[in-house]
Structure 1
């Protein structure tokens, strides 16, 4: 089961052995005679690179184009920054939303606000996606790769055996986990993305913080020490201390999804698209038993985000690169969402476009593995991580993941951890001023 599941989870979090950057368009197959001699350069992370190759071929055929696609294996964002710092030219590349302002400030990418058709494109997106893809000035800087949020999953069979409902508060999560373990239903009832590598622990923590109503940062980028933030930290520490999570939760591969699909755990906080994996009978022992509910907590919110396709600061040809961006991150010249619809139907990735998420084929597909009413309600309550617009935030985020992991493992003081997180934010803000 594990090998099949790992193939489905082959993503930007896994290092692809034996694969370097893919060569130019000549390696992707023949191109039309009219294609330009200068190739557009496109770099991406490790999510289904073979399908990205196919999408590149479709684009080249549709537009009589020439594209050089490079796969960046490993920890994508730091490696991409190394390439950009070294002067490598890229016409289009991926990024999570919290790198957009940072890379724009470094003059590696450009705004697309003034390009043809942008107003119509923005009108077709969900507001939270427009916010995610915009610079602090409000200018649109990218098109959506996919839109997602962290969801709260539960094994329905486990809860039925225990005679309990899905918990609505974090105190109830703890009590339910204790009962599940005491009754012998699950030895590690709670599960989540606690791994330090991007973006697992980060997205897990922010989703839980937002669910309890913690702001984490104010509008001026100041770290906020508040009871809601401390409560979530202490819940995580308690889950680990009492053995309500598996001891190796911080090092599990595949965001911990293979472990959850084994049927060992009851609850999981995870990217919403992984709900499809957990209910896939080809790779999961609990297919058909995994349900989604609103996040527990005082507000029931979660973290929502939109990953992006970005245009390089100096495109070889603005019109050609804009066509490439729209093909991957929107509608192609033939009016089809070639890339986005495929991601949705095959892998359960949500879209930043209203039209895509209302597509009958996608509605039918998604309804087979998640409760659409619950997911719609959760999205309506979701919080966008505005602090991601701060150019220093990625560095604080990496520091936070390391510190929170150590805090959970060691059982150390919440006061000490919160002080370190606040001091690091202050330090980084001053360095970047």
Structure 2
């Protein structure tokens, strides 16, 4: 049986593009978007949108961060496949067992709360005492340290200026350094963040096992960890209630903890469909029709594919009006809270330097430097300084 390895997608597609393989349209991650445009592999779709008023009208329905992520150099290139943003989750029964009725709002409050949760010796569904209440994802991967961006954006940090020059480690209030130091202290000093955060695989599986009280997830994975089919935590709670329901709201969504309680934000990303620059003229309209069906509306004027992906997997969508779709609202309420989703969707940002053509090189460099900080091998300031210097070198190389 064939199992796709999504981490190899970039390398496979680069080989196909370089080799000139016949291809009318393709799936593009925002991580790779600028690189592929600069390489001349993608075709703008502004002319097709201009000639297609119905599809063009959907532009006004897009979340701003999605529209921005599909635009480069003032030209529109894509229609959305799916999208989502990161959320802070907490295990409500475990928090209650430790004596809390609400999650911490700031990083300092989280430190204090997590220490008390650990001291309360809260147990997993299998009866083990939870040693580290917080689990994050700082394993090196092709998509990068999304939790690092999420925590920075929660504190409304600005990491790059309008010309994509790094502002850290001397960004406003040195927020990037403060957050990285908080992470390091959480691992080594307070022992509230699991050291396995640097090596663990799928975060949702660790959360679903009930071994963590807090963490960061893709929003769509909230359905997964609250579904008893996947989640020991949900199954244990439903058995305790004597319920045969499929979902239990064991894990709940909250604003990502920030330096100050008046700050709010998170990271979002975009997956899109784009025409390739090799799309033949005689196949252009067929390719565009396929893209519209997948990334916009069907012949009946419905967001068929976006709604179907949500129904099947809870995948996020790029169109704001779907947050008021009755079926989507009802399904969300089975495992989440639509009002919290609506509120957090107002505070989503894409990675600031994601449209730099040197972003793929940046991803390779910054991850091990962050890990060295988290391992205590260098200070937060020194690590950020090295990353900033590498960014400046990449900018010079691409000038």
Provide TM-score, normalisation by structure 2: 0.86
State the match for 2:213 in structure 1: 266
CA distance in 2, matches of 1:146, 1:291: 22
1:215 Cα deviation after fit: 0.7
**1:211 to 1:74, Cα distance in 2 relative to 1, 3 A:** closer
CA distance in 2, matches of 1:74, 1:198: 6
State the match for 1:131 in structure 2: 68
Judge conservation of contact 1:151–1:293 (CA < 8 Å) in 2: yes
Mapped pair 1:212 → 2:182: no
Greater relative CO (CA pairs within 8 A, separation 6+): 2
Taking the TM superposition and a 5 Å limit, the aligned residue runs for 1:170-189 are: 170-185=107-122, 186-189=130-133
Taking the TM superposition and a 5 Å limit, the aligned residue runs for 1:26-175 are: 46=4, 73-115=6-48, 116-117=51-52, 118-137=55-74, 139-164=75-100, 165-175=102-112
Instruction: Pick one of 267, 290, 293 that aligns with 2:254.
Output: 293
- Secondary structure of the residue aligned to 1:386 is coil
State the match for 1:4 in structure 2: none
CA distance in 2, matches of 1:268, 1:426: 32
Mapped pair 1:193 → 2:193: no
CA distance in 1, matches of 2:224, 2:141: 21
Aligned pair count? 363
Taking the TM superposition and a 5 Å limit, the aligned residue runs for 1:377-416 are: 377-416=343-382
- Secondary structure of the residue aligned to 1:306 is strand
- Map Cα deviations across residues 100-120 of structure 1 (whole Å, 9 max, x no partner): 222111110111111132531
Structure 1 unaligned residues grouped into runs of 5+? 1-17, 21-45, 47-71
Question: What RMSD, in angstroms, separates the aligned Cα atoms of the two structures?
Answer: 1.8
- Secondary structure of the residue aligned to 1:75 is helix
- Secondary structure of the residue aligned to 2:215 is strand
**1:200 to 1:396, Cα distance in 2 relative to 1, 3 A:** closer
State the match for 1:28 in structure 2: none
Taking the TM superposition and a 5 Å limit, the aligned residue runs for 1:219-298 are: 219-225=162-168, 226=171, 227-241=174-188, 242-254=190-202, 256-287=203-234, 288=248, 289-297=250-258, 298=260
Judge conservation of contact 1:132–1:384 (CA < 8 Å) in 2: yes
1:303 Cα deviation after fit: 1.1
- Secondary structure of the residue aligned to 1:145 is strand
State the match for 2:334 in structure 1: 368
Deviates more, 1:186-195 or 1:341-350: 186-195
CA distance in 1, matches of 2:68, 2:213: 34
1:293 Cα deviation after fit: 0.7
1:217 Cα deviation after fit: 0.7
State the match for 1:62 in structure 2: none
Judge conservation of contact 2:164–2:352 (CA < 8 Å) in 1: no
1:339 Cα deviation after fit: 2.3
Provide TM-score, normalisation by structure 1: 0.80
Mapped pair 1:19 → 2:2: yes
Judge conservation of contact 1:136–1:389 (CA < 8 Å) in 2: no
Judge conservation of contact 2:161–2:167 (CA < 8 Å) in 1: yes
CA distance in 1, matches of 2:161, 2:118: 39
1:200 Cα deviation after fit: 5.0
1:167 Cα deviation after fit: 0.9
- Map Cα deviations across residues 221-254 of structure 1 (whole Å, 9 max, x no partner): 1111231100111112122224323332222222
CA distance in 1, matches of 2:25, 2:185: 44
